[in-house]
Amino acid sequence: MARFIARCAMRWSDMDAYGHVNNTAYLAYLEQARVSMFFDRYDSSFAGGTVVKHHEITYLRPVVYHPEPLRLELWVDQVRAASFRVLYDVYDGDMLAAKASTTLVTFDFATDRPRRITHDERVVLAAYDDAPPDGVTPDGATPDDATPDGTTPDDATPDDSTPDDAGGVDETA
């Protein structure tokens, strides 16, 4: 499936003293877009609850307030036993202004513990998978780009992604 597209209006109050949208406003844009994505296909699958484990935002350029909304493209990856990640590209017009990710954990509020992602939830998440075509890695490399040991040049770079654990839930299943 193609990425989910959300449009988020900027508020005048989102600007800081320097005249551009303050970094903290981006969290609200991400939340607004993420909620829109899940309500786009809402079927009560996630009624059991989810909580945010981690946010990460890389700001690529400042955004100055204007009446046109920002365009956010969202997709899902790293679906594990009790967590998944939503990725975002934030566009100001045609310019990529920020890249972000949110790791979410499915949660049982009655027991106050993480819970496994259900089959129905996996079906919903799969609809937002933006995996590259077979034989292409997320960075665009193909098997031809691999080194003799089977790794791509980026495999040698330290991975600073979020930990695989979700509050004590076994993520290996």
Task: Tell whether 8 is covered by a domain.
Answer: yes
Number of separate domains in the chain? 1
Q: Which residues of 134-153 are buried (b: 16+ CB within 10 A; e: fewer)?
A: eeeeeeebeeeeeeeeeebe
Q: Walk along the chain (173 residues) and give the pLDDT tens digit of each residue.
A: 679 999 999 999 999 999 999 999 999 999 999 999 988 876 677 777 999 999 999 999 999 999 999 999 999 999 999 999 999 999 999 999 999 999 999 999 999 999 999 998 998 899 999 876 554 444 444 444 444 444 444 444 444 433 444 444 444 44
Task: Tell whether 52 is covered by a domain.
Answer: yes
Task: Tell whether 43 is covered by a domain.
Answer: yes
What local confidence, expressed as pLDDT, does residue 80 receive?
Answer: 97
For residue 8, the domain's CATH number is: 3.10.129.10
What local confidence, expressed as pLDDT, does residue 133 receive?
Answer: 53
Task: Tell whether 172 is covered by a domain.
Answer: no
What local confidence, expressed as pLDDT, does residue 39 receive?
Answer: 86
Task: Tell whether 93 is covered by a domain.
Answer: yes
Task: Tell whether 170 is covered by a domain.
Answer: no
What is the rounded CA–CA span in Å between residue 34 and residue 88? 9
Task: Tell whether 169 is covered by a domain.
Answer: no
| Residue 80 belongs to domain spanning | 4-156
